[in-house]
Amino acid sequence: MNIAIRSLLEVQETSLLVARAFRRLFRRPIYLTEMFTQADVIGVGSLTIILLTGFFTGGVLTLQTYPTLKYYGAQDQTGYLVALSLVRELGPVLTALMCTGRVGSAIAAELGSMVVSQQIDAMRALGTDPVRKLVAPRLVALVVTLPLLTVVADVIGIIGGGAVSTGLYGMPMESFFSSVRHGITTDDITGGVIKPVVFALIIGSVACNKGLSTEGGTVGVGRSTTSAVVTASILVIVADFFLAKALQVILNMPGK
């Protein structure tokens, strides 16, 4: 089959899966316990890697930008530049990519294993809807937790940038955070929260679709997991470009 047609069919299947999941979300029974369990696994379970990623990303941004800004006499804007880069771009994207590798692979592997071991067929035979039981809670958990993880990454990244600017370059901590406070606007924060919501839908829908369409036994589980991570990562990066442009227009900040 032509690769373009196959890609379009996958997009169609993924979109229909998301639509079915949210359409059936409020029908009884509502699996609240499963939602909270998935939120704990995704959110709390990813916290360590997000903290490390955010802190060292903010630190390396300061490490790379402070000498250049100092050359032009604008070193007092280091905090603003670091915070803007994190809140608008690096925070949402890096958090999404970390969760794709950790959470997306786990979802695809778990659902794929259930498919090859015929647990999904058993659920249908017992009258349980796999989309409502398995897909919807994971999508909701991702949509709720990924923006929160992104905010954590942004805050920790700014703290990491401040620690490097103070520890290595002797910049007063008050000056660093003052430039952050006066530089970041509500529009920047709004855009930085909208992005992870879209990324969460991409990660969850791709991982669930790849997992539920697993074929070929245990070898197929590995293929589905790899395909889910690669596909979701690429889609996150591509979607980031279009979201960035759309947010510039919608929030009226194209030249800022």
Q: Is the dihedral of CA 201, 97, 159, 87 positive or negative?
A: negative
pLDDT in tens, 145-203: 999 999 999 999 999 999 999 988 888 888 889 888 888 888 888 888 999 999 999 99
> Is it true that the peptide bond before 196 is cis, omega within 30 degrees of 0?
no
pLDDT of residue 256: 46
Exposed / middle / buried, residue 214 (Cβ in 10 Å: 0-12, 13-18, 19+): buried
Whether residue 146 contacts residue 200, with contact meaning beta carbons closer than 8 Å, is answered with: yes
pLDDT in tens, 31-79: 788 889 999 999 888 999 999 999 999 999 999 888 888 888 878 888 8
SS (H, E, C) 42-66: HHHCCHHHHHHHHHHHHHHHHHHHH
pLDDT of residue 47: 92
Three-class SS state of 253:
coil
pTM above 0.85, yes or no: yes
pLDDT in tens, 109-154: 999 998 888 888 888 888 788 888 888 889 999 999 999 999 999 9
pLDDT in tens, 8-25: 777 788 888 888 887 777
Question: Residue ranges of the domains in the chain?
Answer: 3-63+89-154+183-250
